[in-house]
Amino acid sequence: MSAVGNSVARKDGIGKATGAARYADDITFPGMLHGRTIRSTIPCGRIRSVRLDFDTTGFTVVDHRDVPARNAVDLIAQDQPFLVEQEIRHMAEPILLLAHENRERLYAVPVEVEYDEGEPLFDPEKSQQVFKTIDIVKGDTSSALADAELVVEGTYRTGHQEHVYIEPNGVIAVPEDGGIAIYGSVQCPFYVIKALRCLLGDAHPNVRVIQTETGGGFGGKEEYPSMIAGHAVMLALKSGRPVKIIYDRAEDMVATTKRHPAIVRHRTGVTRAGRIVAMDVDVLMDGGAYVTLSPTVLSRGCIHAAGPYRCDNVHIHGRTVFTNTPPNGAFRGFGAPQTEFAVEVHIDRIAEALGMDAVELRRRNALRPGDTTATGQTLRDDCSALMVLEEAVRRTDFDRKREEYKGSNRSVGLSLFYHGAGFTGAGERNLKSKARLELTAGGVRIAVGSTEIGQGTRTMHAQIVTDALGIPYEDVEVAQPDTSRVADSGPTVASRTCMVVGKILEECAHEMRDRLGGLSPAEYHSRHGPLTVERMYEPPDWIEWDDALYRGDAYATYGWGCDVAEVELDPDTFEVRPIRLTAVQEFGRPIHPALARGQIEGGTAQGLGYALLERVVMHNGAMANGQLTNYTIPTTLDTPEIDVVMMENPYPGGPFGAKGLGELPMDGPAPAVVNALRQLGFDVREIPATPELLSAGSRLG
Amino acid sequence: MRTAISELDLRSASSLTEALAILRDEARTPIAGATDVYVALNFGTLKPKRFLDIWALDELRSISLSGDTLVIGSLTTYTSLIQSPIVGERLPMLVEASRLVGGVQIQNRGTIGGNVANASPAGDALPVLAAADAVIVVRSDAGERRVPITQFYTGYRATVMTPDELIVAVEIAPVEGKQWFRKVGTRAAQAISKVVVAGVRAPMPRIAFGSIAPTVVRVPETERALGDGATIDDAEGVLAREIAPIDDIRSTAEYRRRVSMNLLRRFWAETG
Amino acid sequence: MTLRFVLNGAKTELDAHPMARLLDVLREECALTGSKEGCGEGECGACTVLVNGEPVCSCIIPVAHVEGAAVLTIEGLGGDHPLQHHFMNEVGAQCGICTPGMIMAAMALGPAPTLEDVKTALAGNLCRCTGYAAIYRAVMKWRGLEAPPSMVAE
């Protein structure tokens, strides 16, 4: 029996179910101190003074003057300091660090910061400071709009979303012989290395990062852990002792990244027969106070902004701007959930304006193999928009339900969506990811920096190697990511861990199989000793991308999805209860069906939270409802039955035909729910679609 | 940042008499299931430093009938309320409210006395007690007094209790008329309420709301209108003038007002 | 105070501040780190343990309240409990941080729960990874019950 395609036993073992798995806060080191971060309590201004009104004996105190080399978190720009020097740009910005061996003493001491307050800017539409502008141009949109038989316009808004990984952020920095080790809850160990090199300069070359078991990420542990690691390292260097920094939920929610809020404007020209002839899209994303990853989030958002539709004339203009709020960052979907929400709600409104069935409108315009996307990419045979649409409509008996529910408090809504897998454009080529396979005495060891954050990295990689090498699954082990011991396989983001890193591992396994020359790993090892194979990712040679013009093959392949949400409204309270969500998704081929199903079920639940429940309330530039009591994610009773349909359309460039999957399920639920609300008479153009919004919002005629 | 536990002081009482003697002599905040106290502790907002642990006072855990009056000991947990046949029979709306308090873990620890004492405007059981005309039995070393719940709260998180008093029981005389309860929370479970309504459909109806005022409230003018035979449309208008909900991080004044009116109508329709 | 209680079946005696959080005593004094802190307000259930058979959130309980009680943590199930295996096999655990609390809450279920019973029993435990379906599958299989057809892995 092959491993790929079967739900084999997970490489995690049983530790997660017995309490034996060790997360950052479960680990202690002798002599360890605890760290605390003193943060700004204003959104904008300058520091006048910092006063420590206590006896600092026994405390390690670190401020910006202790930065060894460069006070900047090294992401796209180097504008965000590890510790504020003078200028405060957002609430909860780190100013000073304290460490002490006694946590109670550490938490109790007062630090007074005095400020000269500035005038904060919270409204992205008023921001003059643009971090990044993107224009995607295809055809002649203004002429096509002028000639269109009908033009439909609309503005759509999405709010912040908080990741709510159940394990808050945590890092431990441990001085060791000739260097320093960082243990932590991180998605991207090599991002941390990059940030620490910038922080420390050449003075401290031996830095390694070891990923501890990680209690969820969803993008939320992509960039921010570099900040925390920098803090822990500075405290550890100054004290000469291990330092652990664990955020509590309140600190995690107020200080760390969220999904970018977005405002998306559409002007779409159509023929009376329902052919889309022009799409003019304007995307505005609130980046927060520093650049961080906003340009790339905007990029993915813009590329997906026209939806999975064929159209000869498209102009997508995007910008991400500064506000005096904590930087927004990576979150499952990376800009696409915002723009796909907008376009999918807009499509239903176009159908309404045309007096046409919304499914039929999608059917006529959905991308097919041979069509070109907004960036001019010609789609290949692995385009499945129509296939998922037809299956979702058939499986849910969509047309009949839509008729049957008319006039009741129930309704169904649908969304069609897609998600590019891997880094955008030339990203994978530039990244030069590597994977390594090491022969062990009894099998092989996978040594990559890809992290297991719940999604099943270890298992799925081991399955690929098992079948590609033709050895028993049990003989494949997966090394814990330790940057000093594993290959830099790139960050664990962008739905690339299976498709890209899995592909390199497949090639490593093929090479190793050849080098074993028919011997088993054990035989080879006993005769010839160790053997290591390392390979670098080669993206498909046909990929062409012009980063200046935003034209070309944005992604090597896409996953495709169609969600149908069935909801019920309480007309007295405006509470919306999802009854069932059908998620039809095509992502090449599932390596591990049970894990893949878990990605779809979990991503769909997050999408439902995004649609209905999850509202970040900002007061004076800070999250005011930063508690799990008041920022409500779905519980068991909020989560409906999720009917998962996994369709296959293999991608030749992926391992065993696999594409990326992790983010795709996040894109569909919100527009499907809002399109269902439209059938109930609510003209919703904003999420979360809370009862308050529905009760106040305009009803359709 | 969490409150420093080393600065806190806890005394435990093993009998009610001992507890009342301690409260007579020392200023201490009673704790039972601790579900509210420890949330404050974990967020560093806990103000009191000295506590009296009454969790062990089993004498405050009984559910019984005294004559015709239902007497619920103050340490009765939501789980016990849910499981109690007497409560189920006499005050089903309290069972319904209890089921919607937190998850099972909170229901196992939260007590009815704690809900009353904590005086949150969003306390889930409070509208039920208000609509049932419950009487709060408080005792000190000097004696006992009975305060109707409608007179128990003096303002936001403020009660008539003196520092030496302890809530020992909640008394509920037989409730004549159909009972009705609806909680509108921030989600389906584990939710803080945005609007809670409890109603009793009697010749003179009794209707109480939570989360729309600084304390749980009855709406006497609306009750009187309905009792006097006003139409539900008119009663809705009376209610709209009678309540003044506010905006907060969980909801809006406008939503609360609108939903309160809608639920009044539904209560009336479903109990008619 | 000196505290005596039965921890995972063994008589235990230790010194602790009476208002110390049960969770901290378990994790730091008893080295039982299987119970996790996700929120510190009894909202996420990751710290769920059984006290005298009842699930409670150990992050909001003064340790004084387990004096004389029987406390069961995830470690007390051993490493080979059928429910633990079902959680892993059904992928009811993804990142795993909610799993110990989820399992402890499920332990309090009766012998033949309905799907609604399972949902209600676990309503105090948040999971951000799974959308809960795989957790229901694990619990139902443990109880020898059939999960609803659309939830059965194909």
Q: Domain locations in chain C? A: 2-76, 82-146
Check CB contact of A620 with chain B, cutoff 8 Å: no
Please give the Cα distance from B129 to A52 (Å, whole number).
50
Cβ-proximal residues to A193 (8 Å cutoff; 6+ apart), any chain = A207, A208, A209, A483
Q: Give the pLDDT confidence of A314-331 residue by residue, as tens digits.
A: 999 999 999 999 999 999
Within 8 A of A577 by CB-CB distance, chain B residues are 188
pLDDT at C153: 41
| Same domain assignment for residues A247 and A298 | no
- A8 domain residue, yes or no: no
Chain A CA closest to residue C138: A17
Candidate from A107, A573, A630 with C-beta closest to B262: A573
Tokens standing for residue B161: 């209790």
CA distance C108 to chain B (A): 10
Q: Which of residues 16-35 of C touch A (CB under 8 A)?
A: 27, 32-35
Q: How far are the Cα atoms of A247, B13, B113, C4 from residue C62, in angstroms, in the given order?
A: 22, 15, 18, 14
| Same domain assignment for residues A221 and A304 | no
Q: How many CA atoms lie within 13 A of A400 on its CB side?
A: 5
| Same domain assignment for residues A279 and A239 | no
C60:B51 CB<8 A? no
Task: Give the range of the structural domain holding residue A207, as residue numbers without chain letter.
Answer: 31-119+165-255
- A544 domain residue, yes or no: no
Q: Which residue, A115, A123, A232, is CA-closest to A173? A: A232
CA distance A584 to chain B (A): 26
Candidate from A572, A619, A632 with C-beta closest to B187: A632
Check CB contact of C81 with chain B, cutoff 8 Å: no
| Same domain assignment for residues A438 and A415 | no
Q: Give the pLDDT confidence of A14-65 residue by residue, as tens digits.
A: 999 999 999 999 999 999 999 999 999 999 999 999 999 999 999 999 999 9
Q: Where are the domains of chain B?
A: 5-53, 58-172, 181-271
Mean pLDDT to the nearest integer, A156-172: 98
Tokens standing for residue A584: 């039809």
pLDDT at B92: 98
Q: Give the pLDDT confidence of A102-134 residue by residue, as tens digits.
A: 999 999 999 999 999 999 999 999 999 999 999
Chain C CA closest to residue B31: C62
Within 8 A of A630 by CB-CB distance, chain B residues are 186, 192, 249-250
Tokens standing for residue C22: 């049960």
Contact B77/B33 with Cβ under 8 angstroms? yes
Check CB contact of C133 with chain A, cutoff 8 Å: yes
| Same domain assignment for residues A284 and A249 | no
Check CB contact of B53 with chain C, cutoff 8 Å: yes
Candidate from C20, C60, C122 with C-beta closest to B39: C60
Fill in the DSSP letter of residue A656.
G
| DSSP letter for each residue of A512-523 | HHHHHTT--HHH
List all chains that touch chain C, counting a touch as 3 or more CB pairs closer than 8 Å. Answer: A, B
CATH H superfamily, domain B181-271: CO dehydrogenase flavoprotein, C-terminal domain (3.30.390.50)
| Same domain assignment for residues A575 and A525 | no
| Same domain assignment for residues A277 and A331 | yes
Q: Which of residues 87-126 of C touch A (CB under 8 A)?
A: 87-91, 93-100, 103, 118-120, 122-126
pTM equals: 0.97
CA distance B232 to chain A (A): 15
Where would I find the beta strands (DSSP E) of A483-549? Answer: 532-536, 545-546
C126:A605 CB<8 A? no
Please give the Cα distance from A212 to A29 (Å, whole number).
14
Q: Which of A27, A332, A585, A636 to mutate to test the interface with C (most CBs of C within 10 A)?
A: A636
Mean pLDDT to the nearest integer, A246-258: 98
C97:A165 CB<8 A? yes
**Cα-trace Rg, chain B:** 19
- Give the pLDDT band of residue A701 (cuts 50, 70, 90): low
Contact C115/C125 with Cβ under 8 angstroms? no
| Same domain assignment for residues A305 and A249 | no
- A10 domain residue, yes or no: no
Q: How far are the Cα atoms of A346, A399, A691, A694 from residue A405, in angstroms, in the given order?
A: 22, 10, 21, 19
Contact C109/C143 with Cβ under 8 angstroms? yes
Within 8 A of C134 by CB-CB distance, chain A residues are 594, 597-598, 601
Please give the CATH topology (third level) of the domain spanning C82-146.
DNA polymerase; domain 1 (1.10.150)
pLDDT at C147: 67
Candidate from B42, B55, B105 with C-beta closest to C124: B105
Within 8 A of B35 by CB-CB distance, chain C residues are 42, 60
- Give the pLDDT band of residue A202 (cuts 50, 70, 90): confident
| Same domain assignment for residues A657 and A669 | yes
Q: Give the pLDDT confidence of B233-271 residue by residue, as tens digits.
A: 999 999 999 999 999 999 999 999 999 999 999 999 999
- A130 domain residue, yes or no: no
Hey, what's the torsion of the CAs at B175, B180, B184, B188, to 10 degrees?
Answer: 100
A vs C, Cβ pairs < 8 A, gives 182
Average pLDDT, chain C: 94
pLDDT at C152: 40
C128:A595 CB<8 A? no
Q: Give the pLDDT confidence of A175-196 residue by residue, as tens digits.
A: 999 899 999 999 999 999 999 9
Q: Is 3.30.465.10 the CATH classification of the domain at B58-172?
A: yes
Q: What angle do the packed helices B220-227 and B232-242 form, to 10 degrees? A: 160
Chain A CA closest to residue B197: A573
Within 8 A of C124 by CB-CB distance, chain B residues are 102-106, 189-190
Candidate from A104, A619, A634 with C-beta closest to B6: A104
Check CB contact of A597 with chain C, cutoff 8 Å: yes
pLDDT at C148: 57
Q: Give the pLDDT confidence of A632-641 residue by residue, as tens digits.
A: 999 999 999 9
A vs B, Cβ pairs < 8 A, gives 79
Cβ-proximal residues to B264 (8 Å cutoff; 6+ apart), any chain = B197, B199, B207, B222, B232, B235, B236, B239
Please give the CATH topology (third level) of the domain spanning C2-76.
Ubiquitin-like (UB roll) (3.10.20)
Hey, what's the torsion of the CAs at A336, A341, A342, A344, to 10 degrees?
Answer: 110
- CATH number, domain of A373, equals 3.30.365.10
pLDDT at A178: 85
Q: How many domains does chain A have?
A: 3
pLDDT at C150: 47
Please give the Cα distance from B90 to B208 (Å, whole number).
18
Where would I find the beta strands (DSSP E) of A89-165? Answer: 94-100, 111-117, 130-138, 150-158
Q: How far are the Cα atoms of A353, A400, A403, A678 from residue A406, in angstroms, in the given order?
A: 18, 10, 6, 11
CB atoms within 10 A of CB B50: 13
| Same domain assignment for residues A417 and A436 | no
Fill in the DSSP letter of residue A430.
H
Cis peptide before A688 (omega within 30 of 0): yes
Contact A422/A429 with Cβ under 8 angstroms? no
Mean pLDDT to the nearest integer, A670-687: 98
Residue A615 phi/psi, 5-degree rounding, is -120, 120
| Same domain assignment for residues A421 and A432 | no
- A158 domain residue, yes or no: no
What residues are paired with A35 via a beta bridge? Answer: A99
Q: Which amino acid is at C9?
A: G
Fill in the DSSP letter of residue A700.
P
Mean pLDDT to the nearest integer, C99-113: 96
Helix (H) or strand (E) holding A304: none
